[in-house]
Structure 1
Amino acid sequence: MISIDKDTLDSLLEKFRNEQQTLLPEVKLKNIFLTEKLRLVAGVDTAYWDAKDKTYGACCIVVIDFITHEVVEKVNSFGVVTIPYIPGFLAFRELPLIMDAVKKLTKQPDIYMFDGNGYLHHRHIGIATHASFYVDKPTIGVAKSYLKIKDVDFTMPDNHVGAYTDILIDNEIYGRTLRTTKSVKPIFISCGNWIDLETSTDIVMRLINKESRLPIPVRMADLETHVVRKKLQETL
């Protein structure tokens, strides 16, 4: 539904690439927190739809207790989206909605999990990494499908819970293919920022239950976007 001309698109791409290149040196794949002090984890997801010649988006954030897995808070935001979907630049489309939702939180998450990639990205600045500079918290990327980079395929992990294979591109680990549930498709996790891959894996696995291959905060945020989108579609 969003249509822009080639010159405008080229200008946006140059601006977006420059911002990603500026942020990349500030990305730190190491922990700035103690796992034993982790209490609140937020899951973030965004959904879109077209109506009346406009594209709308809704962002949902679900905060859960890391220990009990109970929902602590749910918030959402919605609005007209003006940036088209451009592969590799998802953050520029989603961040306005995400930050509108973040501002509604009354609880302060210790970590944010995003339905998408982080360091596992062509320029290492996926939505989870990019958003870290806005939410000012450690972040983890959790993707349901694989983003192929430089024509490198992932290696399927063994068929047992917790099995994983690292995604190695040009001798650098971009992320991890993780089997969270036996005999179910793996997920693809990557550091967002201010966290290492081992800790990201541990946190994800500790938030898996029998209901889904996805960690609880991401799954619940995804489910919430369907509910919110349906309600908004009926009113807009």
Structure 2
Amino acid sequence: MIETDMSKLTKEFSDIQAELLPKVKLENTFKKDEIKLIAGVDLAYWEEHGKTFGTCCIIVIDYHSKEVIENVYSYGEITVPYIAGFLAFRELPLIMKAVEKLTVEPDLYMFDGNGYLHYRHMGIATHASFFLHKPTIGVAKSYLRIKEVDFQMPENQAGAYTNIVIDSEIYGRALRTTKNVKPIFVSCGNWIDLDTSTEMVMSCVNKESRLPIPVRLADLETHRVRKQLAHK
């Protein structure tokens, strides 16, 4: 029965992703000087009394000054089971719950996760864009291996990158944001091109982390909030 339900969910989720994919545009739908506020989004999970709970943290920064403008989070029980490749369905409810708490409107969202660099080009950054109605970028700390294709290591200098090419299509980039530090994996979410995504990520990196500031701060906040909530 459980296997049947999972199979049904997988088919349902796959159909939704297939329906959304033709609407993905890997090109800028904005002018760069219009980007003033960037949001970083991350989630964390924990188990309690046999149930799975999660928190979504969103940190909004001023793109130019890099100052934190707003910090919100949501939390709740996770009711959608984990199915590889369909993480968005599990995370979207908490993401949108956190977005509703924002008093400012981000011009762009960066996700701690993938976008176009996904089995069906529908990672969380891409999928969520259709609910956020804003350009999105995927920033992953680890590489999602697709069709047995490995990435090529970029040169050891800040800003160096190699394209991740699968079946003659560019899925994303392995980007070294800091010298002597392992790369991160950047991909378009939606309504933005890969060069601009790379530029935006690099412009938000400082000496404290290989991750862009909004994503790093959201990641740190999820650990803080999880620790706080898991002990209630």
Normalised TM-score (structure 2): 0.99
Identical counterparts, % of pairs = 66
Query: Aligned-pair distance for 1:83?
Result: 1.4
- Aligned residue for 2:231, secondary structure, equals helix
- 1:63 partnered with 2:90: no
- Of 158, 161, 164, which aligns to 1:164? 161
Pairing 1:74–2:68 present: no
2:106 matched to 1:90?
no
Q: 1:214 — aligned with what?
A: 211
What does 1:174-189 align with in structure 2 at a 5 Å threshold?
A: 174-189=171-186
Which residue number corresponds to residue 196 of structure 1?
193
For the pair 1:150 / 2:147, whether they are aligned, the reply is yes
Question: 1:118 is matched with which residue: 112, 115, 140?
Answer: 115
Quote the Cα distance in structure 2 between the aligned partners of 1:168 and 1:193. Answer: 18
Q: The residue matched to 2:64 in structure 1 has which SS?
A: coil
C-alpha deviation, 1:193, in angstroms:
0.1
Within 2, Cα distance between the matches of 1:35 and 1:85?
36
Taking the aligned partners of 1:87 and 1:35, their CA distance within structure 2 comes to: 34
Report the Cα offset of residue 84 of structure 1: 2.0
3-state SS of paired residue (1:14)? helix
TM-score by length of 1: 0.97
C-alpha distance in 2 between matches for 1:153 and 1:110: 33
Within 1, Cα distance between the matches of 2:94 and 2:213? 21
Whichever residue aligns with residue 66 of structure 2, its letter is: H
Q: Aligned residue for 2:229?
A: 232
Structure 1 gap segments, 5+ residues each: none
Aligned partners of 2:68 and 2:82: how far apart in 1? 31
Whole-Å separation in 2 of the counterparts to 1:157 and 1:53: 43
Give the structure 2 partner of residue 31 of structure 1.
Answer: 28
* Mapped partners of 1:147, 1:189: distance in 2: 11
Which letter does structure 1 place at the counterpart of 2:105? Q
Q: Provide the rounded CA distance (Å) in 2 between the counterparts of 1:84 and 1:74.
A: 28
Say which SS state the counterpart of residue 173 (structure 2) adopts: strand
Distance 2:141 2:98 in 1: 23
Instruction: Return the match for 1:141 from 138, 147, 151.
Output: 138
Q: Separation in 2 of the partners of 1:75 and 1:191?
A: 24
Cα distance in 2 between the residues matched to 1:84 and 1:186: 30
- Whole-angstrom distance in 2 between the partners of 1:187 and 1:87: 20
How much has 1:85 moved relative to structure 2? 1.8
**Count of residues paired in the alignment:** 232
CA distance in 2, matches of 1:38, 1:116: 21
2 CA distance for matches of 1:85 and 1:215?
A: 27
Supply the distance in 2 between the matched residues of 1:40 and 1:115 (Cα, whole angstroms): 17
The answer for unaligned runs of 5 or more in structure 2 is none
> Which string of whole-angstrom CA distances, capped at 9 and with x for unpartnered residues, describes residues 126-163 of structure 1?
00000000011000000000000111000000000000
Q: Give, in whole Å, the separation in 1 of the partners of 2:30 and 2:69.
A: 21
DSSP 3-state at the match of 1:175: strand
Paired residue type of 1:87: A
For the aligned residue pairs, the C-alpha RMSD in angstroms reads 0.7
Counterpart in the other structure of 2:202: 205
